[in-house]
Structures are given as structure tokens and as C-alpha cells.
Amino acid sequence: MFGKKPQAMKAILSVKEKKYLSPHFIRIVLEGDIDLFSDAKIGDNNKIIIPKNNEDTFILPSLEKNNTTEKPIIRTYTTRDIDFENKTLTIDFVAHGENSPASRWAIHAEKGHKLGVLMKVKSKPLYKDANWYLLVGDHTALPVISVMLEKLPKETKGKAIIEVHGPEDALELKKPVGFEIEWIFNKNPGEEQKLIDAFSSTSFPDCSKYIFVACEYTSAKQIREYSRTMKETYLSSFQILSYWKHGQSEESSAEERRKERVSN
């Protein structure tokens, strides 16, 4: 995601506020030298560097390829909000237990705890122009879909299909009036593939469309394969992303997931 040019900016930020939006979603508001990210926008990806023990002396490690020190724990997240006046940056985390480093950090985060953040200017727009939109994602894509719904023009029409753990995680989202939201509940994400059925049963209008999909590897692959058989893809722009792969960490599956990325 981060090339040599432009260089990613990095900063150590501190937890200012923490709030459970639902049993499985935690909102963390960070504060610090946010001006370093002056060109960043809401919805941009960022990289977080997770400290192993929330120590007060947390230092950003070097990310150079030839660096011989221990590799940092890095994860990719959506910039849910950035407030330059109040110098805060907001990230929403999925709380799914202690095995995930990011989830574990968010669950135990307290005011003052440190987090490394890296970001670079995003060249691609958040979405493409169209007459109708379909936004599909699992729990990991809820932040970026939420941003899209907030940023789309008020007159926009479309549908969002969002898979979360259960009804308790169906958040109240700000959206255009003409947008429908369908919640899918799946207590075993990655094991049960429910998004493909919801996608395949969707009715598409006869107009230009923008279709955004972000979810687990297998679901993204199945949706991509199904979309190739759809006559409704005419005059459509697709972006299908694999955000994670069941049973694999971000490091071990990153290259494989990148090969599955489709954008046309």
C-alpha cells in the first residue's frame, strides 16, 4: 500500500477517548501531532503500529527493508474521522477476542496508551460516480462503508449489505434517504459465507452502477466469480477487496489477498 514516493508520515498518538459502539465495535479517539497528516482525508487507509505492552516509552520502529530489528506488529485500518482543529484521529476496531493483536490492544486500551500511526496521501477517490450504488462488506468493512454513506450526495440511491456478528452490532448509520441497508448476521465469520447469497439475490437497476465489496477472502472470491456471470455488470464499476483471510494473519495472507484484488 505504501510506496517509496510519497513517503508515509508517522506519529505516536495517545488514546484520548474509548467507547464501545456495540459489543463488537470499539471506537478509539487518538490525540497528538495530527498536523503531520494534513493531507489525509476521512476514509483513507492508515497503518497502525501496535505496541506489545502499552508501555509509556513506546517508540516507532524503523520500517526500512534492511532493518535488522524485530518487525513491528502492523495492521491496516480506516480513518473514521480526523479533526485538525482538535488534533484527533478516530479509528473503529472490531473486538473479536485476544488472539488478534489489534483487537487485544483496543480491548485493553486506556486513556494515555500509545499507538503508532502511519499514513500517506490517497490518490484514488473513495468511490466512483454512478447513478446507483451497492456497498457490500463484513464487520471489517463497516468503518469504510460508514464513511462512504456519510460522504455520498444526499440524493444518492443504492443499497448496503453489511455482515456483523448479531443484531446488537447493527449500528445506526448516517446515510442518504434513498439508501437501503440490509444487515446480515453471522456468528462464525470466515466459516459461514453469507454475503454471497445476499449479493446474488440483489436486484440491480438498469443504469450506471458502482459496486464496492470488502470482506473475507473466500467471500470476496465467490462474489467476484459470480459477478462475472451477471448481465447487470453492464455499465458498472467494480471494486472487490479481500480484507482478511480466515485462519491467517495479515502478514501471512497479504500477498495472496493482493492477487485477489479486483478494481475496474
Residue 138 sits in the same domain as residue 112: no
Residue 170 sits in the same domain as residue 251: yes
Q: What is the pLDDT of residues 207-263, one digit of tens each?
A: 899 999 999 999 999 999 998 887 766 557 889 999 999 766 555 555 454 444 444
Range of the domain at 47: 8-120
At residue 220, φ and ψ (nearest 5 deg) are -60, -40
Using DSSP bridges, classify how beta strands 157-164 and 132-137 pair: parallel, antiparallel or unpaired: parallel
Residue 59 sits in the same domain as residue 84: yes
Q: Does residue 165 belong to any structural domain of this protein? A: yes
Q: Considering 120, 155, 180, which residue would you say is the last residue of a domain?
A: 120
pLDDT category, 56, cuts 50, 70, 90? low
Residue 112 sits in the same domain as residue 153: no
Encode 70-83: b = buried (16+ Cβ within 10 Å), e = exposed.
eebbbbbbbbbbbe
- CATH of residue 48's domain is 2.40.30.10
Task: Read off the C-alpha cell for 159.
Answer: 443499497
Predicted confidence at residue 233, as pLDDT, reads 64
Encode 116-145: b = buried (16+ Cβ within 10 Å), e = exposed.
bbbbbebeeeebbebebbbbbbbbbbbbbb
At residue 103, φ and ψ (nearest 5 deg) are -60, -45
Q: How many domains does the chain have?
A: 2
Is pLDDT of 4 > 80? no
Q: Does residue 55 belong to any structural domain of this protein? A: yes
Instruction: Check: CB of residue 117 under 8 Å from CB of residue 49.
Output: yes
pLDDT category, 63, cuts 50, 70, 90? low
Crossing angle, helix 250-259 and helix 217-227, to 10 degrees? 10
Is pLDDT of 264 > 50? no
Predicted confidence at residue 93, as pLDDT, reads 97
Q: Does residue 1 belong to any structural domain of this protein? A: no
